[in-house]
Amino acid sequence: MAFTGVGTTVRGGPTYREAQLCMEMIADTGRLASLDVMEHNPAFDVRNRTAEVAVDLIESLFGKSTLMRKK
């Protein structure tokens, strides 16, 4: 998934769903204690898209299930 809110975009990474599944699997281990978020540049983020995806993934990482999300 390539978004524009970073300095250097890279294509060919995981899809949103793949990344979200990974985050939920990590959360299920109960071993996550902290997280560093890097490389978000609001000046490059079109309509805050990258920030919103990052928040969704971080919520999954800390235990919020996709079944709990409102769209």
Assign 71 a pLDDT band (cuts: 50, 70, 90).
low
- The predicted structure's pLDDT at residue 24: 92
Residue 9 has pLDDT above 90, yes or no: no
Q: End-to-end distance of the chain based on CA atoms, in angstroms? A: 20
19-63 tens-digit pLDDT = 999 999 999 999 998 999 888 888 888 889 889 999 999 999 998
In 10 A of CB 62, how many CB atoms?
11
Q: From the CB of residue 61, how many other CB atoms can be counted at a distance below 10 Å?
A: 18
Alpha-carbon gap, residue 48 to 23, rounded angstroms: 21
Longest Cα–Cα distance in the chain? 35
